A and B are shown apart, each in its own frame.
Chain A
Amino acid sequence: MSVLTAFRDSERARSIIERIHRRNTGDISIMEFCGGHTVAIFRSGIRSVMPESVRMLSGPGCPVCVTSNADLDRAVALAKTPGVTITTYGDMLKVPGSRESLMQVRAQGYPVEIVYSTLDALKLAEEQPDREIVFFAIGFETTAPAAAAAVLQARKRGLKNFSICSVMKLTIPGARALLAMGEVKVDGVIGPGHVSSIIGSDAWRFLPEEHGIPVAISGFEPLDLLAATDAIMEMHEQRRPALVNTYSRVVRPEGNRKAWGAVEEVFTLDEAGWRGFGIIPESGLVLREEFADFDADRRFDITVEDSEEHPACRCGEVLRGVITPHECKVFGTACTPESPLGPCMVSSEGSCAAYYHYQRQLA
């Protein structure tokens, strides 16, 4: 499909890279808020072709990584509840909670099922009417519609043994919290393409309007990211912060109203605990009262106490862009993808894992 390969075209990439190098932007720190971008930037080698004056930072854009140990411990406790089968996306399994991961729980004989989609979790609930199927829902705005659709389907089909434990979060409150902390200098933001396909590019207007920070919504191909970076540099140079959408083949200003409508029908906002940030108000999605029957937190009496973080893990600071993974003492030694101490090394989208795979040596 030419429309896909065209955005990987090396000739076109070269011309944008040359344009970037001709710019007189000076030192600039550009942050992405999306784990997919973290990986794409490393995989395409974009960092290595950037002028030294351009710093690429990663923000809290990996939902697995920002999940707090308290929430993970809740999933572990649910998995050990008699009659319950926990279903979740594969990314979550190896993340160490305070005491154990879902993978370790599964090794002890508790049913923990990896699903590709909430559709599979629904199917499991239909096939096993004597089991309680709980979907441990993590993710940002891109993933929330799939959880909402599953709840609406479960209600339509009259499924009584399907529920959701939601630890889903919203990216905008996360981005706002990071900026409010003021620990890192952010001169420009690469806006998350797929999150924006749901919430719309207009959702990011607060960056130029309230913070004077240019933002370019980007796709995941090399050309998308190069063009977004170039646009940010130009806006920074000209001191004209605005919103540019370089991913308009997918992202509309208003987003996907139908998908977000489903999310709003099923979920409401609540405070949520983020790794590295603590509690962020109105940043989490919880089931509305009228869907209480599908809310695992209401259906099962789970209490989790004494959640704790690994003392050596600095994922929290990595997620805030305060340190790079190399600055963590256990990076690549005590903490590797094979035996991770923190989620940023577990998730394929985590900054630590990306650095480990693509930039293990300090340049």
Chain B
Amino acid sequence: MGITAPGMGSNLDVNSIVSQLMAVERQPLALLDRREADYQAKLSAYGTLKGALAAFQTAMQGLADPARFRAATASVADTSILTATTSSTGKAVPGSYSIEVQQLAQQQKIRSEGFASTNSTVGSGTLTIQYGDYDSGLNTFTLNNAKPAQTLTIDPANNTLSGVRDAINAANIGISATIINDGSSNRLVLTAKDAGAASSIRIIASDDDGVDLDNAGLSQLAFDPTAAAGTGKNLTQVQAAQDAKFQIDGIAISKNSNTITDAIEGVTLNLLKSNAGTPTILDVARNTTGVKASVEAFVKSFNAVNQTLADLSTYNTVAKKGGVLQGDSAALSIQRWLRATVSAATGSTSGAAGSFTSLSQIGVAFQKDGSLALDSTRLQTAMDAGFDQIASLFAANGKSTDSLIAYSGATAKTSAGNYAVTIAQLATMGSLTGSQSAGLTITAGANDRIDITVDGVAASVTLAAGIYASADALAAEVQSKLNGATSLTAAGSSVVVSQSGGVLAISSARYGSASSVTVTGGNGAGNLLGASPITTVGADVAGTINGVAALGTGQTLTATAGTASEGLSLIIKGGLLGARGIVDFSRGSADRLNKLAGDLLTTDGILASRVDGLTESIKTIDRRQETFLRRLDAIEARYRAQFTALDTMLSSLNQTSQFLTQQLATLPKNNS
């Protein structure tokens, strides 16, 4: 703009200089203000666009889940018998099932004889609560390995009826205790928390009065279903523990709960009532309504962000005004990329009949105005023809040709494609096998303790003393104690203890190289496992994906960086070694749009760089305004100095003229 203050020595007309100065010098200031307002408006427009894209990304993230497009619904003809729901993982397979419920699962309930008062002294000692299966025919009680025994100490501090009730409830050991007053006496009622035949209760008393079976002292609460009433079976059963028994399409099923999650894959049954002899029908159907809603949500989300872009970047014929981002290359690019991503063919290259490769095949198509619209009739036709293929159009989805290989996940870097899988080694679990048969006599303080490390987590357990009937019984005790160890349950580890020819083997339930069982000490280690038990460390699955060695962790095989299949994660549940078919990984529209929105919104993305540029421009303008104001100051100072000097000069000139006028006045008259 180059405005310079005119030098006072230049031969210019001062008035014109002043007026020129006034007009010209004000211009850039107004211009800068206008430009800054422009930039601010753009900045705000980019903010709006970012908000819209972030909302769009969230919506696309949700729709990139294949389960959204595989959902099934379950309906039962007679809902008084049972109800059914499908899980969100979308594993339910459409079908119709005939269901007949013979009996519901229930928990055992036992009661004591009457006590005069809730404060009546019961006795002291210990109560050991065991869980297991009582066979009334054989009169045997088989311990439940999954539910470790628990011991409760009753001492003079809590030896009343209510004290025992509170001690049992506070211990939280799988039974709840209440006291019922029948009008003349108080009875302790114990209820198992878990239903099912395997959760029958046995209570062994160790009575401080020295007699553990009689009906006096703490042994009044002993309950061994195999003993004779009054001599160890001193409580009365009110309700027997039993499993739910039902048939699905004639197949007899027994479960320890009325909520069954593993009978029909992806469907949870909730049994309510017996209907023996009159089966009801369970229908599992594709949730076409849910899928349609998901497709509609996709269209709606796209249109919302598209509308925001249009509002910001096009000429509004009603307002006769251009959008703030009209002609902005970033806005135009984003619009173009969004459209291209929606239009692009989905990489479902399996070539299976009825597979879809574009959204238009299921009725989602662009309108003249650039928005998307859904043709419901076409969507319905498509769902009827290839329901299972729709998920791949939207979500990131993998399909395996081998039923023992499951797609587990992928990362942003995984490319769509068909990837061959070969397995060189299956995952195994770590285990420990004894070097000799286990001794069946366990003596407290002598050989009852064993220190074991499972999956790197140490646990020390003390076995119940006694002479075990069999190696199986001893194995069950070891497993029960280990699985009850808090350090292992906290770490999510568990073991399976088995015996073969009297030799015990302890196996971790985890797969892979992190799975291991080692014995580290304890006075009972030698008796149980021999002097030199053999430790076998678990192995990770090994194999290739897309011809490149993949990373195995437990049963999970993950394709390594640097290949097209990078990040593809598969679970190898079993099967043979060698070539194991193909995993077809595809990226649907929602998944790709999610990624696109993510890329646009990153800190080094196109929007961020625009915003940074504008912020910088505004700063520059601010700096220029400052400089400009400073220069105005300088000009003013200069004018002011000259004005003052001239003013001084004029007053000096006044004095001169006064003096001269005086001279004229004092002239002698004759000389004038």
Whether both chains belong to one complex is answered with no
